[in-house]
């Protein structure tokens, strides 16, 4: 057998989520975020489904991610959010770089001039993230200068919420207001059709005033909603098999560090998944998985290759049975939010950790909205 878990990606759920987003936002464009290998779901397959749903814009973090999509046959616009390389690949692969500084804009203009063409670009404004982008207090002047660069065509202005799930709604609204004020100042100087966008997944669901000209969802594409009101369908299911079933006497220690001691005679299952397979070690003694649709607690520390669960209360379990680490089985459901809470992290880390390491299998892309 091969090591680790196996990951099922249901592309019909992805299609469902896209159509649900479209119903929320109307006719605005969607910039679908597929960075980090589409949050562990597989950027190529996911992007092909996204494009089949009529989406014309994709977003990635770095050039190599964009190149992978181009070489797979994706022809739609690809925004590159963070990469600072002044690379000929931008030209050769017809990518749309995001400008995060004046110096980058100047170097990019020289590259475009050398190639005797115009490069489409977006400009990132820091309205409160404190990470990348042109400072908002200098944005108007900087954008005016970038617009004057003869070999660049500014087709978008973007910003990024600092609070991904908008827990501090007031601060998010301040960021929206900054972007609105900037847009109003720039209306007469920006090229026609220039898109403003800031709305992430949370804003797409709960902050319509942040929609501007386009939305930029990531997490909700993959079925994880920062809020509970709108139901999206999880795209990823993660499973592992039971390698061994053992009966342990009361008082037996389990796994490294003896962090779990059985309080009764206990039946345990040893699963073929560990932290080398993306299951965070911090889920030790905290997470639950599904066995025959019932919740089985993780007991002892997660090991590099193996994890142990308590099967005492679950009947009819045998070696080789599938255990659901993430997803639904029978009447049970383990969400990425629950698994993240048990690990003391966020759903993004759960999806990227489990998705990038293990074998992926794709279900068909026919949606049932």
Q: Which of these is catalytic: 16, 20, 35, 239?
A: 35
Token pair 């992290």: residue: 345
Spatial distance between the Cα atoms of 284 and 260, rounded to a whole number of angstroms: 10
Q: Which of these is catalytic: 56, 141, 247, 256?
A: 256
Q: What is the DSSP letter of 194?
A: P
Q: Strand pairing partners for 31? A: 57
Q: Strand pairing partners for 137? A: none
Structure tokens at 82: 């963070």
Active site residue 231: no
Contact 271, 323 (CB under 8 A): yes
Spatial distance between the Cα atoms of 95 and 80, rounded to a whole number of angstroms: 7
Contact 35, 59 (CB under 8 A): yes
Spatial distance between the Cα atoms of 117 and 66, rounded to a whole number of angstroms: 20
Spatial distance between the Cα atoms of 206 and 226, rounded to a whole number of angstroms: 9
Active site residue 256: yes
Spatial distance between the Cα atoms of 122 and 196, rounded to a whole number of angstroms: 9
Q: Give the CA-trace dihedral at 15, 292, 351, 49, to 10 degrees.
A: -20
Write out the E strands in 249-321. Answer: 253-254, 260-261, 266-271, 288-291, 294-297, 307-310
For residue 91, CA distances in Å to 96, 109, 118, 344 come to 9, 11, 9, 42
Contact 166, 204 (CB under 8 A): no
For residue 23, CA distances in Å to 19, 53, 84, 340 come to 6, 13, 35, 29
- DSSP-based three-state secondary structure for 357: helix
Active-site residue set? 35, 256
């Amino acid at each position: 057998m091969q090591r680790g878990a196996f990951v099922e990606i249901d592309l019909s759920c992805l299609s469902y989520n896209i159509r649900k987003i479209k119903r929320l936002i109307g006719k605005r464009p969607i910039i679908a975020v597929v960075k980090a290998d589409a949050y562990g779901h597989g950027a190529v397959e996911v992007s092909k489904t996204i494009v089949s749903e009529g989406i014309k814009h994709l977003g990635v973090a770095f050039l190599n991610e964009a190149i992978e999509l181009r070489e797979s046959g994706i022809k739609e616009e690809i925004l590159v959010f963070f990469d600072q390389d002044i690379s000929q690949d931008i030209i050769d692969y017809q990518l749309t770089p995001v400008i995060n500084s004046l110096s980058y804009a100047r170097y990019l203009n020289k590259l475009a001039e050398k190639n005797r063409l115009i490069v489409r670009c977006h400009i990132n404004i820091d309205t409160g993230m404190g990470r990348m982008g042109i400072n908002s207090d200098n944005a108007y002047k900087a954008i005016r200068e970038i617009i004057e660069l003869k070999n660049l065509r500014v087709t978008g202005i973007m910003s990024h919420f600092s609070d991904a799930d908008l827990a501090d709604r007031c601060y998010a609204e301040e960021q929206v207001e900054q972007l609105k004020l900037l847009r109003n100042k720039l209306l007469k100087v920006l090229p026609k059709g220039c898109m403003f966008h800031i709305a992430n997944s949370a804003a797409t669901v709960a902050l319509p005033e942040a929609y501007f000209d386009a939305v930029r969802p990531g997490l909700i594409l993959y079925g994880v909603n920062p809020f509970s009101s709108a139901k999206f369908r999880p795209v990823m299911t993660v499973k592992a098999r039971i390698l061994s079933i053992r009966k342990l006497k009361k008082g037996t220690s389990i796994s490294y560090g003896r962090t779990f001691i059985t309080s009764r005679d206990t039946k345990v299952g040893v699963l073929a998944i560990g932290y080398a397979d993306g299951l965070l070690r911090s889920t030790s003694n905290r997470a639950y998985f599904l066995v025959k649709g019932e919740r089985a607690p993780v007991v002892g520390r997660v090991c590099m290759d193996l994890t142990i669960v308590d099967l005492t209360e679950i009947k009819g379990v045998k070696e080789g049975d599938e255990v659901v680490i993430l997803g639904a089985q029978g009447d049970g459901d383990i969400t990425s939010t629950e698994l993240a809470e048990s690990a003391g992290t966020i759903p993004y880390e759960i999806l990227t950790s489990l998705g990038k390491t293990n074998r992926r299998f794709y279900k068909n892309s026919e949606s049932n909205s």
